[in-house]
Structures are given as structure tokens and as C-alpha cells.
Amino acid sequence: MSPGALLVAGKVLDNAGRPAAGATVMWLHGPVPLPDVAQLTQDDGSFVMSAPVVGQYTLGCRGNSGGQTTLDVTVGPHGARVTVRLA
């Protein structure tokens, strides 16, 4: 990722508070049209997503056991990094 990129970083946890490896994280809504892409969390449940512009976004997350959740996040100016925690 380039310096000054708009980033949302976080960790996905299961209901017991353990890292959820292999959970799917994707953009659901944003201030501009977003590509239909998703990524899987790392072994420690972590993820980093790049946002195209400053604004309000909705992240979606789906765990391996079928659980789902959403979270609204505000991505700030270039160089900002927002950390979210999904459970």
C-alpha cells in the first residue's frame, strides 16, 4: 500500500473472543461505487482494507461458521488509519 493510502485495519474475533482466521471481510457500502472484492483474515484475525476516498463506509464480515456482522466506519483524510474490531 502506498504512503498516504486510506486504510481500515482491524481484527475479526469469534463469539468467544478468539481470532477468526479465514473470515471474509468486504465493503458493503461507501461514498462511491466499490468493486465487488473481499479478502480473508490472517491467522490472527487481522485485515487491512484500502478505501478509495474519504467518507462513510459499511464493512461486512462473514465467519467460517456462518455468522455475519456489519460495521459502519468513517475513513479520514489521506494518511489516516482507522482500526475496527468486528466480533
pTM of structure: 0.84
CA 33 to chain centre: 16
Domains parsed from the chain with CATH numbers: 6-79 (2.60.40.1120)
Dihedral sign, CA of 82, 59, 40, 38?
negative
Q: Would you state the pLDDT for residue 13?
A: 87
pLDDT surpassing 80 at residue 82: no
pLDDT surpassing 80 at residue 84: no
At 15-63, the pLDDT tens digits run 888 888 999 999 999 999 998 889 999 999 999 999 999 999 999 999 8
